[in-house]
Amino acid sequence: MNKVPPVERDLLTGGLKMSCASLWCQFLSEEFDWHDINDVDDGNRSLSEYYKRRSQELSVAPEGALHDRRLEEAIKAWKR
């Protein structure tokens, strides 16, 4: 299990900073990949691939804020 990344928000819009969103997507990708190895669930594999792709896209994105409901819900689930 990886260390849970911090949540950093844009002060103006309240969205996730791009660097933070990229870290969270990478974290979620690795977690779903790890669970896929143990549970053999195709749903986890597809989520792992989705978050891995998003992490790569966001890592090269310009500075800014991201408003993504799916990512926000995943972060809330991990922050409980």
Measured at the alpha carbon of residue 41, what is the angle toward residues 35 and 24, in degrees to the nearest 5? 45
Per residue, the 3-state secondary structure of 28-71, as one string, reads HHHHHHHHHHHHCCHHHHHHHHHHHHHHHHHHCCCCCEECCHHH
Domain boundaries, the chain: 16-79
Could you tell me the pTM of the whole model?
Answer: 0.84
**Rounded-to-integer distance, Cα 53 and Cα 58, Å:** 9
Task: With H, G, I as helix, E, B as strand and everything else as coil, classify residue 36.
Answer: helix
Rounded to an integer, the average pLDDT of 17-39 is 83
How much is the pLDDT for 78? 84
- CB-based contacts of 1: which residues, under 8 Å, 6+ apart? 31, 34
pLDDT in tens, 30-73: 888 876 555 555 667 788 899 999 999 999 989 999 999 999 99
